[in-house]
């Protein structure tokens, strides 16, 4: 339902000690369009830890590109919008040609997901483009910040959002659920993030709640 936070994935590998497969897909595609298979997980454990942040590579017959706003390919490692085409991708929305035309451009389905792709074809999801925070003219993807904060031993759950800010346009707010009896100070969280995030991505505002609202699928 959402990108897997790296700390959670590492715990799953440690606890279950069995092969894992991650899939990425869309409602507009039949089944997944990319998979991180058990061999990829093993590669990650044997010296390519960055693969744990990946959602894998395109499945057979699916073509995936990372494009800019004009639909042009971006260089490897650059964040853009994930576009896909193939026999498992829908032809269009039922009786909604306007939505179809906005979503399928030149035969490619524009997913609305921000992602990058490395030179080996591994895809790294960032977040939904509409969830991107623009602070001081820079783009910040909440999922990356949430994954960093979830490595803190005192935090159990985190949601990062953008809030209005007079100076920066938007500021980064982290809504946190602390483990029982272990609420860290905001300054400690800022210091914790310095080794994991660029300075402009680090939340300066923190709000603690008992639980985050979730739907039936979590």
- Taking only the tens place, the pLDDT of each residue in 12-47 is 889 999 989 999 999 998 878 999 999 999 899 899
Report pLDDT for 74.
Answer: 98
Mean pLDDT of 46-56: 92
Longest CA pairwise span in the chain (Å)? 54
User: Is the pLDDT confidence value at 2 over 70?
Assistant: no
Between 3 and 192, the more confident residue is 192
Among 117, 30, 28, 135, which Cα is nearest to 81's?
A: 117
In this predicted model, which residue has the larger pLDDT, 89 or 6? Answer: 89
- pLDDT of 161 > 90? The answer is yes
Encoded tokens for 211? 């639980």
| Mean pLDDT (whole number) for 160-185 | 96
Cα–Cα distance, 60 to 171 (Å, whole number): 41
CB 142 within 8 A of CB 160: yes
pLDDT at 4: 79
Can you tell me the distance from the alpha carbon of 112 to that of 17, in angstroms, rounded to the nearest whole number? Answer: 34
Sorting pLDDT into bands at 50, 70 and 90, what band is 187? Answer: very high
* Burial of 193: CB neighbours in 10 Å, binned 0-12, 13-18, 19+: buried
Mean pLDDT, rounded, of the chain: 93
So what's the pLDDT on residue 5? 77
């Amino acid at each position: 339902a959402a990108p897997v936070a790296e700390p959670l994935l590492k715990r799953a590998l440690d606890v279950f000690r069995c092969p894992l497969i991650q899939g990425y897909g869309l409602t507009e595609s039949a089944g997944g369009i990319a998979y991180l298979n058990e061999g990829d997980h093993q590669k990650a454990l044997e010296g390519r830890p960055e693969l744990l942040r990946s959602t894998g590579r395109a499945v057979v017959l699916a073509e995936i590109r990372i494009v800019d706003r004009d639909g042009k390919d971006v260089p490897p490692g650059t964040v853009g919008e994930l576009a896909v085409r193939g026999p498992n991708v829908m032809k269009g929305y039922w009786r909604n040609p306007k939505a179809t035309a906005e979503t399928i451009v030149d035969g490619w389905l524009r997913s609305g997901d921000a992602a990058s792709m490395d030179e080996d074809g591994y895809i790294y999801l960032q977040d939904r483009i509409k969830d991107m925070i623009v602070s001081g003219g820079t783009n910040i993807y909440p999922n990356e910040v949430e994954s960093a904060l979830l490595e803190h031993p005192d935090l159990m759950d985190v949601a990062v959002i953008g809030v209005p800010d007079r100076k920066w346009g938007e500021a980064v707010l982290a809504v946190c659920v602390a483990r029982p009896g272990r609420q860290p100070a905001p300054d400690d969280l800022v210091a914790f993030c310095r080794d994991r995030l660029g300075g402009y991505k680090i939340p300066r505002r923190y709000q603690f709640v008992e639980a985050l609202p979730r739907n039936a699928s979590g």
